Amino acid sequence: MPQKLLKTAHYIELGSYQHWPVLIPQRIRLYTYEQIPLFLKENPYITDGYRAHLPSKLCLKSIFILSNETVNIWSHLLGFLLFFSLGVNDLLSVLPASGANREDYVIYAIGLFCFQVCMLCSVGYHLFSCHRSEKTCRRWLALDYAGISVGILGCYVPGIFYAFYCNAFWRQVYLLTVLSLILAVFSAQVHPRYLSNDWRWIRMSIFCCVAGVGTIPACHWVWLNGGFTSDVVQLFLPRVIIMYLIAGSAFLFYVTKIPERYFPGQLNYLGASHQVWHILVVAMFYWWHQTAVYIMHFRHSQSCPAQTTKS
């Protein structure tokens, strides 16, 4: 049998009550938290199942083994396929059936492209975080953070476009503002300490601010449409609130490291906070995409007031 096909059995712990044998390629082994390099030590409550010290080729092969990154990798890889398929369906079916114009096609293409970039950047980081070079790992981490910014942009573009569909001035103001904020975040990543653990809370604060600033155009949109009693506000504001609730829940899991904080070593492979974060991010993007479809149909069925006719 060729050497590259040889397998070695490795037993991993799933919870505290069962062990599953997992066949892994030779030269790929799993490490405990104490055995991994310092730059990989992000979560002390995940005690086992780490990949480390691998060249790029084996990093790629490790996608098919069960490690503590398996769910993180596949959740966003499947998320990418979801948004890619939604894009194809939108461009070939949903938009033509809705009588979409050129602007609609551009907005949907931008939004779904941003979601796909976010998913792929995340997959890349979690796949290559086990690389033997710390510099390579840091580059993928930077790309992952950049992907988060792009994903946030993908939420803002359709939201602002359709919220201010009948007001070209404010639509342009808010789109340019959001784009400037995202570019500012990209610029901050150039700082040599941006990816350090010392700046962990600074990074979180930056992303919270970028996401939270969306409440400003949302409140402005409510005011322009006559307040909370307006039919259009009552129709769409709950969908905005649900999106923020999903995002807030995802962030809380990410920050608090719950539930593994209370069950250290028991959720190494399944059920950890970062996995929940990944799934909620996919759910949030999907929810916002469906909201964009909903509001597009509404905008096409309602004419703009004469004084704010869309230019």
- Residue stretches of the annotated binding site for Zn(2+): 126, 274, 278
Cα(137)–Cα(142) distance, rounded to whole angstroms? 9
CA distances from 154 to 24, 112, 151, 192 (A): 37, 7, 5, 27
3-class secondary structure, 263: coil
Residue 44, preceding peptide bond in cis (omega within 30° of 0): no
> Which residues belong to the annotated binding site?
126, 274, 278
Return the CA Rg of the chain: 22
Find the helix or strand (DSSP H, E) in which 113 lies. Answer: helix 102-128
38-72: string of b/e by CB count within 10 Å (b at 16+)? Answer: ebbeebebbbbbbbbbbeeebbebbeebbbbbbbb
Q: Please give the DSSP secondary-structure letter assigned to residue 34.
A: G
With 0-12 / 13-18 / 19 or more C-beta atoms within 10 angstroms meaning exposed / middle / buried, residue 239 is middle
Cα(65)–Cα(51) distance, rounded to whole angstroms? 10
